[in-house]
């Protein structure tokens, strides 16, 4: 009998809600156009906007009105369910992420639509934002499987998935058409039985003593 077959199956899982998730360095807040749109535009706009939106289904916002229109749609969406990523030090939104393809009856949910601005991408803020989402779906909602998917050509996203503890599962060829182009999708996932080990690694890395006064890590994130 496999490990999966030996585990009792408890479904359905809970449906994610518009909750605030608090961390040490970051806070995830449900998208609010009035509070978050201008900050997110400042964080993900500018010269790097095209590059940051390259693999996303949406295009860079042209201006604040465009950003507000997107935020209005996001705030009204149940799936994807968007959160603004708030840097607790500054109080400003530095990006966004979403829980999506939410399937409580199978205990499966995906994190996606990730857009972290220059100020948080590659920092402990982004790592804790991912950690808070994972802890919420596994511990609060009781999901069995947490997925990460991306275009197979998106090498930074694939590296990020593996750094965050998602296991590579394969390529779905000709899976989607995005912005008029074929997308072969790379699939990654972590499971509920992986979570205790992964959680311990996250908590050790996120501990204040692992960072110097400038926020630079002392030890690398180790989730193996």
Whether the link from the prior residue into 80 is cis, omega within 30° of 0, is yes
Q: Residues near 193 by Cβ (< 8 Å), separated by ≥ 6?
A: 3, 7
Q: What is the pLDDT of residue 224?
A: 67
Would you say the C-alpha torsion 194, 196, 199, 205 has a positive or negative sign?
Answer: negative
What is the model's pLDDT at position 1?
47
Rounded to the nearest 5°, which phi and psi values hold at 63?
Answer: -165, -175
pTM: 0.93
pLDDT of residue 5: 55
pLDDT at 15: 97
Residues of the chain with pLDDT under 50: 1
CA distances from 48 to 17, 127, 164 (A): 32, 21, 24
The upper half-sphere exposure of residue 115, i.e. CA atoms within 13 Å in the direction of its Cβ, equals: 28
Q: Domains plus CATH for the chain? A: 3-210 (3.40.630.30)
């Amino acid at each position: 009998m496999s490990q999966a077959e030996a585990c009792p199956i408890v479904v359905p899982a809970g449906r994610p809600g518009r909750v605030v998730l608090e961390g040490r360095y970051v806070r995830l807040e449900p998208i609010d156009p009035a509070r978050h749109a201008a900050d997110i535009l400042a964080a993900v706009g500018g010269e790097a906007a095209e590059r940051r939106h390259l693999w996303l289904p949406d295009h860079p916002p042209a201006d604040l009105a465009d950003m507000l229109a997107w935020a209005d749609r996001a705030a009204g969406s149940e799936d994807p369910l968007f959160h603004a990523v708030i840097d607790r030090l500054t109080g400003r939104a530095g990006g966004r992420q979403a829980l999506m393809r939410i399937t409580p009856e199978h205990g499966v949910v995906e994190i996606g639509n990730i857009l972290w601005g220059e100020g948080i991408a590659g920092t402990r803020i982004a790592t804790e934002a991912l950690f808070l989402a994972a802890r919420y779906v596994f511990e609060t909602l009781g999901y069995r499987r947490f997925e990460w998917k991306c275009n197979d050509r998106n090498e930074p996203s694939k590296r990020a998935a593996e750094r965050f503890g998602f296991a590579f599962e394969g390529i779905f060829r000709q899976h989607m058409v995005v912005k008029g182009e074929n997308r072969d999708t790379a699939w990654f996932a972590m499971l509920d039985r992986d979570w205790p080990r992964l959680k311990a690694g996250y908590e050790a890395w996120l501990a204040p003593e692992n960072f110097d006064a400038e926020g630079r890590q002392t030890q690398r994130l180790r989730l193996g």
